[in-house]
Structure 1
Amino acid sequence: MPTTEFLLSGGRVVDGTGAPARRADVAVRDGRIVAVGPELAAAAARRVDVTGLTVVPGFIDPHSHSDWSVLGNRDAQSTIRQGVTTEVVGNCGVTYGPLADGGAGEARRALRAYGYEGPVDWRAFPELLDAVHRRDGGTAQNLAWLVGHTALRDAAGVRGPDPGADGLARMSALLDEAMDAGALGMSSGLEYGSGRDATTGELAGVARVLARYDGIYASHIRNRDAHLLDAVGEFLAVARQSGSGGLRAQLSHLNVRHDTGAPDGAWHDAVERLAAERDAGLDVLADMTPYPHGIGLATGLLPSWLLADGPAGAARALDDPGVRGRLRRDCDRYWRFVHKGQWDRVVLATSPATPELEGLPFPEIAERRGQDCWEAFFDVLRAAGPDMGAVQLMGRLFTPEHVAEAVAHPLFCLGVDGFTSRTEGPLAARTRHPLFFTGHVHYLAHHVLRAGTLGLEEAVRKMTSMVADRFRLAGRGRVEAGHHADLAVLDLDALAAEDTFAFTGTYAAGVPHVLVNGELVVHDGRHLGTRPGRYLAGR
């Protein structure tokens, strides 16, 4: 057998297909897996003893926002240390490209909150890809990109519900440009930003571009409470109307926020609708998050009339007590539980103008300031001014039972809906929640090893080959000869002992070795500083 660069010897392999674990060595050469089998007699340039450990495909996050933080964290510290070797980014309609000239300042300020101090000198989506992948040594992890529909709207100068023929043509041209550059598809975010103004007809019209590339449409749908089924229906209508036979479509984080007015059984009805559409030939799946908690944009609570003149105008309007009084009635949207007084479920996660309040629940913020929670919320947004869009919340959104049911469901891939972070700098201050540091291994530590929500082999499949197949990431997601050597080595005993519900301010334990494209990035729990990640282009 020829010399290999690495031989992972002595471990057991969970190959990502759902097949039972088996004892096997894994040989790697020139960035590829060249053999998988018992007691390989390879003359390896480097042998890594993984006796007692488990080798799996590197995890692939189907719903990541690491495009927000990668420029300030090219080493992908918090995610690569969990065994995440690929992230599908550009979700929920929000990407920092394409940009109109007038949007560069807002993008620069938002990216600074994620630790990036460099120039925002790109405008077109392909130029953003160059900035991420061809500057400053690239990235530790692979990234596959969606382009955000809200970004297309803003770059095309579209405001309000009627883009007109010219606006639709401009958005379509920008999407064409992104798809030519290798984007996998388009995402939409219909609960916030100018994306909330888009009609079903606009979404379907722009998404028709995707049909020419066999691209995928991913959507943060318009509602996940009282009108969940209507929102799911709109999502399916866009997929059906946008191409012959329908588009491939991914329903992002299909979950229902607790105590927000959803009818009994609404989530089950939505999932049954997806299953029926799949049976009828539409290629549609969903994904889920690991915790009862999730991140959200603070502006999602605000009505469109306040945001009509942009974030700076909205901030100025908040000086008017009459406006604030009206907002107390008109903010019953997005996280609707706050209108039941459940502010204890909301933590201020990211607030560049008031960093001293980050990490605090709103009742504590209000108490410190001698206000009620609404006034404290409005003051935080007012202080942000033009950077209002960068204010993020962390909410206790779902019941544990609901999370477990979705995690185990066969139509759901497993993602985190967060972004890669680190334990120092601006990112550390703004990611004080286990979602960012143990969200991926929480699926294994909690849902597999403690709660028994699903078995190890199935969990790994839903985090690897299921995602690779879904987004057509060829040669990824399996421990199989010929595949790219994206590999993670797990210490299941260490994972079982880790409290992944607790935020410790440290990186995850239990993943001692990680390879990306055949290169060690994490070895014996230490990040080596290597950046072998690639841009995984579509088609």
Structure 2
Amino acid sequence: MKTLLLRNTQLVDGTGAPARMADIWVRGDRIAAIGQHLTVAADEVLDVAGLTVAPGFIDVHTHDDAMVLREPGMLAKLSQGVTTVITGNCGLSLVPLVSDDPGSPLDLLHRSEFRFAHLNDYAQALAHQPPSVNVGALIGHTTLRATVMQDLMQAATPDETDAMAALLDEALSHGALGLSSGLFYQQAYAADMAEMQALVRVVGSHGAVYVTHIRSEMDDILNAMQEAADTAQAGSASWIMSHHKCAGPRNWGRTIETLALLERLSQRQNVGTDVYPYSAGSTLLREDLVDGIIEILITRSDTHPEMAGRYLADIAQTWGTDQLQACRRLMPGGACYFQMREDDVRRVLAHPMSMIGSDGLPHDERPHPRLWGAFARVLAHYCREEKLFSLPQAIHKMTGLSAQRFGLQDRGVLREGAFADLVLLDPDRIQDKATYENPRQMCEGIDRVMVNGAWAFVQGQVQGEGTGRFLRR
């Protein structure tokens, strides 16, 4: 069994506790010992003085379901120190739909990978060609609807709800982390409380989590939050609100209200939220998000691929039309919407309930920079430069808190017996480089990344075969 000794680390353990100096002894895939001046034999000894060692980061909000199969090196995530990705967010998962034409918005996950009727099939595919990161999977509500329903524009019938519940129960029995929904999307918007509560009761019976992209993040956000919280409570399930934001100029500043509501709800039920460190979101091209006020950057257009990377207002001017008509001509596609205000982003990032998730769309031609830069941006801009929180607090939001919320045992913390998912970084040098104009750029300051006791990323390069695992709840 291979052993490694890291000497002279500044250890940040993922719990939020202050940094301390320590040696770390790794034996196989686990941390065998932590202490000062360890006297143990090791196959490899590294003196990492000047570097901070933290648990591998957990990206709690990804759409990497197909990416871990198609590009198992996962450079965009490893290069930021991410060692675990949570897939299946916003109601969109590969499992259990089998289809050659999944349609929108499921095609955000890539059209050609919907071939897994059962969670174990997906897990076996990952075991056959292990990715460089660990994978935990949510089951998407929209995917369940597409699997059993003919008409997604209406609420499910009792028989359809029962069929979805049976599929969900099987996946949870096989280790899915929970259920996600995206009632914001048209294909799930018609779902009523009876449909959602029936499914979330299955979630609660397994002790799993309910993660939701709420019905509205704009004017009706408080009602949408209450709906999601009531659904989770009715099913006795933990609730996580995805990518918390107050979108659109009329709602800027309202995170004071939404965070207060989250705090009140947390008094009666288990509540969490995730956030990405940018004032622009990214999703499909949607007419209802074109208001003529916010800037909109096109990331993908199936009809006019040459327009990716240009702003909608410029395209409309070039075509001699208004932005709404230009949006229609560009559809289907994707865009970045500059719909948040910086003080709201800061307020959510700083809140004790918030975890960090990238919410990147890896198959966009020009993805939002959060795909390559979210975790480095938290550490560089908001922690080091803005001093919004301390380094241990920032890392807790990326590791220990995330593992706790999603039930990832022995992950997200540095302690004896935990899995050896580690990131070695220079807190003075870490810097996100991805921009809206040039989004596919690695960050700086991540020296090494270890996944399950093996080096996965060293000085800018993915290392060898993947050692990531499918993580069952």
Give the structure-2-normalised TM-score: 0.93
- In structure 2, what is the equivalent of residue 361 of structure 1? 311
- In structure 2, what is the equivalent of residue 184 of structure 1? 177
- In structure 2, what is the equivalent of residue 394 of structure 1? 336
Please tell me the residue identity of whatever aligns with 2:91: G
Please tell me the residue identity of whatever aligns with 2:274: D
Percent of pairs with identical residues: 32
Q: Cα distance, 1:374 vs. partner?
A: 1.8
Query: Structure 2 CA distance, aligned partners of 1:529 and 1:372?
Result: 50
The 5-angstrom pairing of residues 51-70 of structure 1 reads 51-70=49-68
User: Would the alpha carbon gap of residues 525 and 153 (structure 1) be closer, same or farther in structure 2, given more than 3 Å must change?
Assistant: same
Q: Cα distance, 1:446 vs. partner?
A: 0.4
Query: 2:357 matched to 1:415?
Result: yes
Equivalent residue for 1:290, pick from 259, 265, 277:
277
Query: Structure 1 CA distance, aligned partners of 2:135 and 2:25?
Result: 24
The 5-angstrom pairing of residues 2-17 of structure 1 reads 5-17=3-15
Q: Cα distance, 1:226 vs. partner?
A: 1.2
User: Would the alpha carbon gap of residues 115 and 64 (structure 1) be closer, same or farther in structure 2, given more than 3 Å must change?
Assistant: closer
Q: Cα distance, 1:436 vs. partner?
A: 1.5
User: Would the alpha carbon gap of residues 64 and 115 (structure 1) be closer, same or farther in structure 2, given more than 3 Å must change?
Assistant: closer
- In structure 1, what is the equivalent of residue 374 of structure 2? 439
Q: Cα distance, 1:349 vs. partner?
A: 1.0
- In structure 1, what is the equivalent of residue 139 of structure 2? 147
User: Retained in 2: the 8 A contact 1:27–1:34?
Assistant: yes
User: Retained in 1: the 8 A contact 2:373–2:443?
Assistant: yes
- In structure 1, what is the equivalent of residue 231 of structure 2? 238
Tell me which protein shows more strand as a share of its residues.
2
Query: Structure 1 CA distance, aligned partners of 2:184 and 2:321?
Result: 28
The 5-angstrom pairing of residues 115-194 of structure 1 reads 120-131=114-125, 133-135=126-128, 137-159=129-151, 160-194=153-187
Query: Comparing 409-418 with 471-480, which one deviates more in the overlay?
Result: 409-418
User: Would the alpha carbon gap of residues 31 and 53 (structure 1) be closer, same or farther in structure 2, given more than 3 Å must change?
Assistant: same
Q: Cα distance, 1:288 vs. partner?
A: 1.2
Q: Cα distance, 1:29 vs. partner?
A: 0.7
Query: Structure 1 CA distance, aligned partners of 2:42 and 2:309?
Result: 48
Query: Structure 2 CA distance, aligned partners of 1:127 and 1:354?
Result: 36
User: Retained in 2: the 8 A contact 1:59–1:85?
Assistant: yes
Query: Structure 1 CA distance, aligned partners of 2:16 and 2:147?
Result: 43
Describe the superposition over 1:375-416 as per-residue Cα deviations: whole angstroms up to 9, x where unpaired: 2211122xxxxxx4xx22111121111111110011111212
Q: Cα distance, 1:129 vs. partner?
A: 3.5
Question: Tell me, what secondary structure is at the counterpart of 1:64?
Answer: coil
Query: Structure 2 CA distance, aligned partners of 1:238 and 1:26?
Result: 44
Question: Tell me, what secondary structure is at the counterpart of 1:291?
Answer: coil
User: Would the alpha carbon gap of residues 353 and 130 (structure 1) be closer, same or farther in structure 2, given more than 3 Å must change?
Assistant: farther
Query: 2:197 matched to 1:199?
Result: no
User: Retained in 2: the 8 A contact 1:78–1:508?
Assistant: no
Please tell me the residue identity of whatever aligns with 1:150: T
Describe the superposition over 1:328-354 as per-residue Cα deviations: whole angstroms up to 9, x where unpaired: xxx54xx3xx22x125x1111123443
In structure 1, the gaps of 5 or more residues are: 302-330, 382-387, 422-426
Please tell me the residue identity of whatever aligns with 1:412: S
Query: Structure 2 CA distance, aligned partners of 1:415 and 1:257?
Result: 18
Equivalent residue for 1:74, pick from 44, 62, 72:
72
Query: Structure 2 CA distance, aligned partners of 1:44 and 1:123?
Result: 44
Describe the superposition over 1:121-177 as per-residue Cα deviations: whole angstroms up to 9, x where unpaired: 43344433333x133x22110011100001101101153333121111111111112
Q: Cα distance, 1:109 vs. partner?
A: 12
User: Retained in 2: the 8 A contact 1:76–1:141?
Assistant: yes
Query: 2:372 matched to 1:430?
Result: no
Question: Tell me, what secondary structure is at the counterpart of 1:104?
Answer: coil
User: Retained in 1: the 8 A contact 2:106–2:143?
Assistant: no
- In structure 2, what is the equivalent of residue 315 of structure 1? none
Q: Cα distance, 1:115 vs. partner?
A: 7.7
Query: Comparing 59-68 with 368-377, which one deviates more in the overlay?
Result: 368-377
Query: 2:391 matched to 1:456?
Result: yes
- In structure 2, what is the equivalent of residue 43 of structure 1? 41
In structure 2, the gaps of 5 or more residues are: none
- In structure 2, what is the equivalent of residue 32 of structure 1? 30
Describe the superposition over 1:254-290 as per-residue Cα deviations: whole angstroms up to 9, x where unpaired: 210131x33x76432222222222223x111111111
Query: 2:245 matched to 1:255?
Result: yes
User: Would the alpha carbon gap of residues 129 and 380 (structure 1) be closer, same or farther in structure 2, given more than 3 Å must change?
Assistant: farther
Q: Cα distance, 1:434 vs. partner?
A: 2.4
Question: Tell me, what secondary structure is at the counterpart of 2:32?
Answer: strand
Question: Tell me, what secondary structure is at the counterpart of 1:495?
Answer: coil
Q: How many residue pairs are counted as aligned between the two chains?
A: 471
Please tell me the residue identity of whatever aligns with 2:396: R
Equivalent residue for 2:100, pick from 79, 104, 113:
104
Query: Structure 2 CA distance, aligned partners of 1:210 and 1:396?
Result: 34
- In structure 2, what is the equivalent of residue 210 of structure 1? 203
User: Retained in 2: the 8 A contact 1:138–1:531?
Assistant: yes
Give the structure-1-normalised TM-score: 0.82
User: Would the alpha carbon gap of residues 75 and 499 (structure 1) be closer, same or farther in structure 2, given more than 3 Å must change?
Assistant: closer
Question: Tell me, what secondary structure is at the counterpart of 2:63?
Answer: coil
Equivalent residue for 2:293, pick from 342, 353, 356:
342
User: Would the alpha carbon gap of residues 58 and 509 (structure 1) be closer, same or farther in structure 2, given more than 3 Å must change?
Assistant: same
Query: Comparing 197-206 with 440-449, which one deviates more in the overlay?
Result: 197-206
Question: Tell me, what secondary structure is at the counterpart of 2:179?
Answer: strand
Question: Tell me, what secondary structure is at the counterpart of 1:512?
Answer: strand
Query: 2:326 matched to 1:372?
Result: no
Query: Structure 2 CA distance, aligned partners of 1:537 and 1:161?
Result: 33
Greater radius of gyration (CA): 1
Please tell me the residue identity of whatever aligns with 2:277: P
Query: Structure 2 CA distance, aligned partners of 1:153 and 1:505?
Result: 33
Please tell me the residue identity of whatever aligns with 2:398: M
Query: Structure 2 CA distance, aligned partners of 1:50 and 1:366?
Result: 53
Query: Structure 2 CA distance, aligned partners of 1:119 and 1:14?
Result: 38
Question: Tell me, what secondary structure is at the counterpart of 1:134?
Answer: helix
Describe the superposition over 1:188-214 as per-residue Cα deviations: whole angstroms up to 9, x where unpaired: 001114211111221111211112211
Root-mean-square deviation (CA, aligned residues, Å) is 2.3
Please tell me the residue identity of whatever aligns with 2:138: L
Query: Structure 2 CA distance, aligned partners of 1:109 and 1:397?
Result: 20
Q: Cα distance, 1:355 vs. partner?
A: 2.1
- Runs (4+) of structure 1 exceeding 6 A deviation are 107-111, 113-116
Query: Structure 1 CA distance, aligned partners of 2:82 and 2:452?
Result: 12
